[in-house]
Structure 1
Amino acid sequence: MNANGTTGTRLYFATDLRAADRCFTKFLSAASTYDAQVLVLGGNLTGTRMAPVVRHRAGEWRAVLDGVPVELCTDREVAGFERRAADVGAYAFRTDPDELAALDDDPAAVDALFHRLAAERLRRWLELAADRLPEDRVRLFVCCGNDDPTALDALIDDSPAALLTEGRAVELDDRRVLVGVGYSNATPWQCERDLPEEELAQRLATALDGVERSGAQLVLHTHCPPYDSELDSAVVLDEELRPRTEAGQEIVAPSGSTAVREVVERYEPVLSLHGRALESRGYVRLGRTLAVNPGSEYSDGILRGVLVDFDTDGVAHHLLTSG
C-alpha cells in the first residue's frame, strides 16, 4: 500500500532535464522519496551548452558559466567548476587557447565534441542509476526527445538499468503497457528528431500497433504534447529565432502535435505524459485521458515532476511535484 492508501503501481515522471546533474540525482531519489516503483525519464536529456575551461599558464585556468568569468588556480578549483557546470546542465571540458581557436574555425569538430560530451554524461547517468536503483523494486523507463542525438538510444538500450521505450510497447505492470515516442513535430530549431506531422503520425501508428488488441491499459509517453491542449503553449519565434511580440508582449501560441492529439483521442490512454514546452506545466483531461506536462526548471536545479498512482481502473491519484 502506498503512502496515500492506494494499492497498485506508483509512477514518477520527469522530463527535459537537459544534462543537469542536480536534477538527475533528485530524479533517482524520487523512487525512495515518493515510494515509486516506476520511474519514467523523458527527453530532452541532452544539454544545450559547453563550458570550456582554458589553461593559460601553469596553474591558471579561465572559464565562463552563466555569463560570469572565473579564474581557477588549482586542480581542485577546476574540478569544483566542472561539478557546478554539470549541475546546471553545461558540458565543461578542459582545453587550451590553441585548441579553442581551432574549434572556433571547425564547426564539425565542435559538433563531434558536443556529441561525445553528451554521450559521456548520459553514460554516467545510466551507471549511477544501475548503482542506486534497487533492481528488484524500481524500474526505469527512458525515452529521448527531439533534441537528443539518435545515437543516445543505443546507450539506453545497452544499459542494464533502463528500458528504452522509443517506438515500443513495454509492460509497465500487469495491467498496463507504456509506449514511448520521442520524435516531434517540426520546431524552429530543426532538431534531429523533428518530423513532418505525417511522418510522426506513421511513427506513432507503428509504435501503437497491437496495443488495442492486447486489452491492456495504455500509458502514452510522447515528448511533444498534443496540439492546443494547454500543455503546448510556447513563445512564437521569428526566422532569427527571436520572440515575436505584439504591443510589447511576447506572442504565445500552441506548439504541439496534431498527430499526437489524434492518437490521444483515438486510443484514449489512461495517462499521457509529455514535455518540450517547459513553461506549460500542468494537466488537462482530453476525453478519458489525463494528460500531463510537468514542465522543467533544470537550469535552476529544480526538479519538476508528476506522481501518479494507478488502480484497477486506471489513474487513481496524481500530483505535480517540485523540489
Structure 2
Amino acid sequence: MGLFKKKNPDGVDSKTQYKILYTSDVHGSEVTFKKFLNAGKMFKVDALIIGGDVAGKALIPIVELGNGKYDVQGTEVGREGLETLKQKIKNEGNYYVIVDKKGYDELNNDKRKVDEAFKTAMIERLREWVKIAEERYKGTNIPIYVNLGNDDPLYLFDILDEGTVTKKTEGFIIPLGKYEMISFGYVNPTPWNTPREMSEEELYSNMVKMIEKVSNPNLAIFNFHAPPYGTNLDNAPLLDKTLKPVVRGGEIVMTHVGSKAVRKTIEEFKPLMGIHGHIHESRGFDRVAGTLVLNPGSEYSSGIFHGVYIVLEGEKVKTHQFITG
C-alpha cells in the first residue's frame, strides 16, 4: 500500500478536547455534502471526516432534442425545467450527461462510452465539491479529511489533492490533536464486486501494517470503511441467489455482513474508537472489546444528512451524538 508518512497537524492546539464531525457514504449527493459542511461550522469542530464512498452510483442520459427541448428518461422538459431536474439528479447522488440522439445511441451500444462518461462525471462532481469546501473553509484552519470507500475508483484520490482544505487520509497517519487516525477504505467481499474489496486475510494484513505505525493504539482512531462483524453496525438484508432480499413471514431477513478482520484488529489493539460506514441501513453504535464503534448510516438518495458529532477528551470519547438533517 506504499509508504506511510506523518502529516503536520492541522488546526491542532493544546485544548483538552478535540471535536470531530464524521460522516460516510454520501455517494455523490450534493445537498448531503453541503449539509455536512454546514454542520461542521454549526458544531464548531476541529476536523471534519468523510469515511468513504463519495462517488455516486448512476448516470442519467439527458437527450437534447433541439429547439430548447430535452428528453430525460421519457419525460420532455424545456430549458427551465432542465435546470431544476439537473439539481434534483445531483441532490439524489446521481450523475447526468447531455447528449444528442447519436450520442445516446452510442452510449446504448458501447460500454466504453458509458465508462468514459461515468468517469468524467465522477471527477467533475468531486472537483466541484473540493471547490465548495475551499470556498467555505479556506482560512478556518479546519481540515476536511476524506477517504475513499469500496465504491470509489482510485483516481478520485488525485482530485482530493487539488484543494488545500480537503486532505486524503489513506496511507497516512493523521494527527488529530493528541490522537492519531488511520484509514482504510477496502471492505470484505460483497455480492456486487465493487472496485475496492479484499479477502478478510488481506484486510487484516494491511490494517495491521498501518496499526504498527501508530504511536499508541489505545489513543488511535480506526477509520475503517467496513464495520466490525457481528455488531449493531453491520446489519443488512439477507440476499438470495438473484440478489433480492429474503422475506420470511412478511419481513425482510437481516444478517451480519461486516468484516471479521476489522473486528479482530479492534479486539487485538483496542483503539480509542472505530468510525465506520458502508452499511447504510445500520446506523448505530456498539462496543467491541470495550472500544466504541460508530456508523452514522446513510440516506443520501433522499438528500438526508447523517453524521456523528464526537468529542474526545483525555484518553476517552467524552460524548458522541448522532445528527440527522
Mapping 1:17-166, distance limit 5 Å:
17-64=26-73, 69-74=74-79, 76-166=80-170
Structure-2 change in CA distance of 1:152 and 1:300 (3 Å): same
Which of 219, 222, 233 is the matching residue for 1:220?
Answer: 222
Superposition deviation, residue 244 in structure 1: 2.3
Pair 1:209 & 2:209 matched: no
Distance 2:196 2:302 in 1: 26
Superposition deviation, residue 239 in structure 1: 3.0
Please say if residues 49 and 146 of structure 2, whose CA atoms lie closer than 8 Å, have aligned partners that are also in contact. yes
Moved over 6 A (4+): none
Partner of 1:190: 193
Distance 1:195 1:214 in 2: 26
Structure-2 change in CA distance of 1:204 and 1:215 (3 Å): closer
Show CA shifts across 1:99-149 (max 9, x none): 111111111221221121111111111111111114343111111110111
Superposition deviation, residue 201 in structure 1: 1.1
Partner of 2:292: 290
Pair 1:310 & 2:319 matched: no
Please say if residues 234 and 280 of structure 1, whose CA atoms lie closer than 8 Å, have aligned partners that are also in contact. yes
Please say if residues 218 and 270 of structure 2, whose CA atoms lie closer than 8 Å, have aligned partners that are also in contact. no
| 5+ long unaligned stretches in structure 2 | 1-14
- What amino acid sits opposite 1:190 in the alignment? N
Superposition deviation, residue 258 in structure 1: 0.5
Structure-2 change in CA distance of 1:259 and 1:157 (3 Å): farther
Distance 2:117 2:241 in 1: 27
Partner of 1:3: none
Show CA shifts across 1:152-187 (max 9, x none): 1222234312221113211111x1001110000000
- What amino acid sits opposite 2:159 in the alignment? L
Show CA shifts across 1:10-62 (max 9, x none): 10001111100000001111121111111001221111111211112321111
Distance 1:120 1:136 in 2: 25
Distance 2:191 2:171 in 1: 24
Distance 1:172 1:222 in 2: 16
Q: Which moved more, 1:240-249 or 1:107-116?
A: 240-249
Pair 1:10 & 2:13 matched: no
Which of 262, 274, 280 is the matching residue for 1:272?
Answer: 274
Distance 1:236 1:216 in 2: 34
Superposition deviation, residue 245 in structure 1: 2.7
What secondary structure does 1:9 align onto? Answer: strand
Please say if residues 270 and 288 of structure 1, whose CA atoms lie closer than 8 Å, have aligned partners that are also in contact. no
Please tell me the root mean square deviation across aligned C-alpha atoms, in Å: 1.6
What secondary structure does 1:132 align onto? Answer: helix
Q: Which moved more, 1:152-161 or 1:252-261?
A: 152-161
What secondary structure does 1:305 align onto? Answer: strand
- What amino acid sits opposite 1:182 in the alignment? G
Pair 1:242 & 2:251 matched: no
Distance 2:129 2:292 in 1: 29
Please say if residues 167 and 203 of structure 1, whose CA atoms lie closer than 8 Å, have aligned partners that are also in contact. no
What secondary structure does 1:239 align onto? Answer: coil
Identity %, equivalent residues: 31
Please say if residues 18 and 298 of structure 1, whose CA atoms lie closer than 8 Å, have aligned partners that are also in contact. yes
- What amino acid sits opposite 1:41 in the alignment? I
- What amino acid sits opposite 2:205 in the alignment? Q
What secondary structure does 2:311 align onto? Answer: strand
Please say if residues 234 and 255 of structure 1, whose CA atoms lie closer than 8 Å, have aligned partners that are also in contact. yes
Distance 2:199 2:317 in 1: 32
